[in-house]
């Protein structure tokens, strides 16, 4: 997925989100590789350029979602982003990393969602979080997302990112 304009997943006009409606429990696993589009040997620079996986309630009365992504966030430093919104209230956890290639995984059981990460060269998954939300009891949108935002007006800044999703596995249990 390649954002070509400033975008966020919740912007229907420009945002990047591909999903499948899922009912019940599931396992989602994907390998991500995020590169600078204009120079594939580099990483996206400044701004907030991220790609990852999302689980979201399709109920439009309240925003309820969890995004687990990799990318940049205000600097060229690579990071993991775990953003969760429930009832319109958002919390974000950020964890620095030295790479933008790796694996992300979500497991949903009932109203509990557990997220994991792992580096490409390591076999063991690292549990990142375990969350319980009532909105997980309904059907959900589960899939991929990209975003490219820039602080302030930043009229000269443009997205320069490509997110490759591979080895995708979605098991509806």
What is the per-residue pLDDT across 71-80, written as a single tens digit (0 to 9) for each? Answer: 988 777 899 9
Place of tokens 């933008």: 100
Residues lower than pLDDT 50 in the chain: none
In a domain, 61, yes or no: yes
Say what the pLDDT of residue 45 is.
Answer: 73
**Which has the closest alpha carbon to 66: 126, 140, 11?**
140
Q: How far apart are CA 87 and CA 103, in angstroms?
A: 28
In a domain, 11, yes or no: no
In a domain, 133, yes or no: yes
SS3 136: helix
The count of domains in the chain is 1
User: Which domain CATH number covers 61?
Assistant: 2.60.120.200
In a domain, 2, yes or no: no
In a domain, 10, yes or no: no
Task: Identify the bridge partners of residue 34 per DSSP, sorted by sequence position.
Answer: 163
What is the per-residue pLDDT across 59-100, written as a single tens digit (0 to 9) for each? Answer: 877 889 999 999 988 777 899 999 999 988 999 999 999 989
Q: How far apart are CA 21 and CA 56, in angstroms?
A: 9
Instruction: Give yes or no for a contact between 163 and 40, defined as CB atoms under 8 angstroms apart.
Output: no
């Amino acid at each position: 997925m390649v954002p070509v304009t400033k975008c966020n997943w919740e912007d229907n006009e420009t945002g990047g989100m591909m999903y499948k409606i899922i009912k019940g429990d599931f396992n989602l696993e994907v390998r991500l590789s995020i590169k600078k589009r204009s120079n594939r040997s580099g990483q996206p620079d400044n701004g907030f350029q991220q790609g990852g996986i999302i689980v979201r309630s399709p109920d439009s009365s309240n925003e309820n979602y969890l995004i687990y992504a990799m990318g940049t966030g205000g600097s060229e430093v690579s990071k993991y982003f775990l953003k969760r919104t429930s009832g319109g209230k958002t919390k974000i956890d950020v964890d620095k990393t030295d790479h933008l290639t790796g694996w992300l995984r979500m497991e949903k059981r009932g109203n509990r969602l557990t997220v994991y990460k792992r580096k490409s060269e390591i076999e063991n998954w690292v549990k990142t979080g375990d969350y319980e939300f009532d909105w997980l009891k309904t059907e959900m949108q589960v899939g991929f997302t990209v975003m490219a935002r820039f602080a302030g007006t930043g009229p000269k800044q443009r997205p320069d990112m490509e997110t490759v999703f591979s080895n995708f596995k979605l098991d509806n249990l």
